């Protein structure tokens, strides 16, 4: 009679052997984590409030004074740059994903993610500074969209959606004539909803015609939006966000930039506690760079290889 094979869980004494074998199989192991600055969360809150006040002034005045740009560069941009230099960027996501006053925190979150990406892509100091400002102001055109649309708890109807889409053009109009700022700032506001496959808006541009800053901000924008609670939907589970981004890698977004974000982000999660879709908890000990969601986890005295567990996924990051 043929004996049925029963899969046995791996135990702690086997970890060293597994590590060596999985290293050969292109797994990446990291054990060092820099602790975030104790005050960075407070500074992010202050930066969000500063941006909120600036956007409210723009809504009232119907224009952006150059003095407002100078203020943002002096008060908000340094916080974005500091946060983006944190190698354990996921530790900031509780604040970046806050659902209260989403519009303003979203611009801060996109600024941090875009700046982080720009650093990893090797942008020059001047280029990186312009990207940070562009990311913070990418949604400034929403100051011309009515609150009834911005805060609508349900899905927008067709007319409302068409109105919402105009924020890209409004942002460009607000930014294009401000003296002393690079043209890329206005272009990013105009193009951050354009897509590589020509399915974006407002102009339906092809990838080669989209500014590099707009490509970076587009990825940061979508990643942060999917990961956040908003008035009309809850944050998507972590694995769903990564799966969706991976599906869009060779269609909507620039694959080089998106791959950089996914691989860098996943590498920061080694040592993090996570909750799986089956309700179990574990700590990530290894990440497969070719299939980052299929990590190696330690749960109590056992090791779980998500490559072998087809039904289990990382639901969310605990910390």
Tens digit of each residue's pLDDT (9 = 90 or more) over 246-287: 888 889 999 999 988 888 888 888 888 999 998 999 999 988
Beta-carbon contacts of 181 under 8 Å, excluding residues fewer than 6 positions away, are: 69, 133, 175
Give the domain extent around 26: 10-31+270-317
Tell which of 232, 252, 267 closes a domain.
Answer: 267
Same domain, 307 and 231: no
Q: Is the pLDDT of residue 21 over 60?
A: no
Average pLDDT over residues 10-17: 47
Beta-carbon contacts of 239 under 8 Å, excluding residues fewer than 6 positions away, are: 277, 293, 313, 314, 315
Same domain, 24 and 111: no
Same domain, 85 and 209: yes
Same domain, 312 and 260: no
Q: Is residue 93 part of a domain?
A: yes
What pTM, to 2 d.p., does this model score?
0.84
């Amino acid at each position: 009679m043929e004996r049925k094979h029963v899969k046995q869980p791996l135990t702690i004494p086997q970890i060293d052997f597994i590590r060596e074998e999985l290293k050969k199989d292109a797994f990446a192991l990291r054990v060092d984590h820099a602790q975030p600055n104790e005050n960075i969360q407070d500074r992010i809150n202050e930066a969000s409030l500063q941006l909120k006040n600036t956007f409210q002034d723009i809504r009232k005045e119907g224009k952006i004074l150059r003095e407002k740009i100078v203020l943002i560069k002096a008060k908000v941009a340094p916080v974005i740059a500091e946060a983006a230099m944190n190698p354990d960027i996921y530790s900031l996501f509780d604040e970046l994903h806050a659902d209260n006053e989403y519009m303003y925190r979203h611009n801060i979150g996109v600024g941090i993610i875009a700046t982080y990406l720009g650093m990893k892509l090797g942008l020059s100091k001047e280029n990186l500074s312009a990207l940070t400002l562009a990311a913070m102001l990418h949604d400034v055109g929403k100051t011309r969209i009515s609150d009834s649309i911005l805060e609508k708890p349900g899905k927008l109807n067709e007319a409302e959606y068409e109105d919402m889409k105009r924020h890209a053009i409004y942002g460009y109009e607000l930014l294009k004539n401000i003296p002393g700022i690079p043209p890329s700032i206005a272009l990013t506001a105009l193009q951050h909803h354009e897509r590589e496959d020509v399915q974006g808006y407002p102009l339906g541009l092809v990838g080669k015609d989209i500014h590099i800053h707009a490509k970076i901000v587009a990825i940061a924008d979508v990643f942060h939006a999917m990961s956040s609670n908003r008035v009309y939907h809850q944050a998507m589970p972590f694995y769903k966000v990564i799966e969706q981004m991976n599906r869009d890698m060779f269609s909507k977004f620039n694959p080089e930039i998106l791959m950089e974000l996914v691989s860098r982000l996943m590498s920061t999660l080694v040592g993090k506690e996570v909750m799986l879709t089956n309700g179990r908890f574990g700590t990530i000990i290894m990440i497969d760079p070719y299939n980052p969601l299929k990590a190696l986890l330690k749960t109590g005295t056992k090791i779980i290889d998500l490559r072998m567990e087809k039904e289990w996924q990382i639901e969310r990051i605990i910390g």
